[in-house]
Amino acid sequence: MALQAWFMQESDADQRLPHHKNPPESVSLEQLADLGVLYWHLDPEKYENDPELEKIRQARGYSYMDLLDLCPERVENYEQKLKNFYTEHIHADEEIRYCLKGSGYFDVRDKDDRWIRILIKAGDLIVLPAGIYHRFTLDTNNYIKLMRLFVGEPVWTPFNRPQEDHPARKEYIKSTAEKVGLPVAAH
């Protein structure tokens, strides 16, 4: 099944709701790729011995791996953690998540600063590029099991918006502008 993504309706309602616009505005894998977001669909039942996952890990240098269960019963200070994940931020490195069970949302900003909501479900492996503004939340099922991948030793440091002068943000803006043939401003 293909990844589902759409432009979000801005709202103060429960962050775990889909927040579709009316009418809904879908976002394609190609549009996500233009933002540097990568996607694969794998068999989550085979994650321990999946040659396809191993190929991706080797090709992209993902040497670190751990598993994370996110739900109220398993995470201390669950509400605070969810609030932290939902604060708009960037990372200096890629954020790589492989959903093994459950579901949740990654929200990313497009080039016009609009929110795109990406629903991830079991089998979805998503890579957010370094420097992209994003946030994460569970959906109303309140459960997701994720594999976190990283190149080398993990650094999970979020840099909350604004971060326009952060090197990862500058590089992200430059690389996405070059993809669509826009002039890149000198800094």
CA–CA dist 55, 52 (Å, integer): 5
149 close to 96: Cβ distance less than 8 angstroms = yes
Q: 108 with 137: CB under 8 angstroms?
A: no
Distance CA 25, CA 6 (A): 5
Q: Which residue has the tokens 């976190």?
A: 148
Annotation-wise, does 41 bind a ligand? no
C-alpha 157/C-alpha 150 separation (Å) is 13
Annotated binding residue at 20?
A: no
Conformational region of residue 73, where left means phi above 0, alpha means psi within -120 to 50, and beta covers everything else: alpha
| C-alpha dihedral, 44 to 48 to 52 to 56, nearest 10° | 100
* Residue 134 assigned to a binding site: yes
Q: Has 95 been labeled as part of a binding site?
A: yes
Q: CA 177 to CA 17: how far, in whole Å?
A: 32
Which residues carry a binding-site annotation for Ni(2+)?
Answer: 89, 91, 95, 134
Which residues carry a binding-site annotation for Fe(2+)?
Answer: 89, 91, 95, 134
Which residues carry a binding-site annotation?
Answer: 89, 91, 95, 134
